[in-house]
Amino acid sequence: MSTFDDREHAFEAKFAHDEEMIFRAVARRNKLTGLWAAELLGKTGDDALEYAKSVVIADFEEAGHEDVVRKLAADLGDKADADTIRAKMAELLPVAKAEIMKEVD
């Protein structure tokens, strides 16, 4: 195998790894956002975890995070508007990334 082929495989592996880390961070962010919303809804324990799981699953409806925002806005009603939800998601993404990085170490 040539040096060029080695480099190509290394770049492909790095790209795949980076994409997996982004996917995991977004899923973790959605879980954390779901737990935040569950608290606003008065859910605790297993009910809160199940609700957070439903938020993670909602992200698979379409590309981007607006599907999650719509679900949470509908569920939360007057407890939080879409802008508040987006702000919480933005706040929790670095937290999710930090948690993922701790697990990798």
DSSP string, 18-47: HHHHHHHHHHHHHHHHHHHHHHHTT--HHH
Categorize the per-residue pLDDT at 4 as very low, low, confident or very high, splitting at 50, 70 and 90. low
pLDDT of residue 64: 86
Q: Is the dihedral of CA 8, 13, 14, 19 positive or negative?
A: positive
pLDDT of residue 105: 62
Considering the entire predicted model, what is its pTM?
0.85
pLDDT tens figures, 17-45? 767 888 999 999 999 999 999 999 999 99
pLDDT tens figures, 52-78? 999 999 998 888 899 999 999 999 999
Say which CATH architecture domain 3-104 belongs to: Orthogonal Bundle (1.10)
pLDDT of residue 1: 61
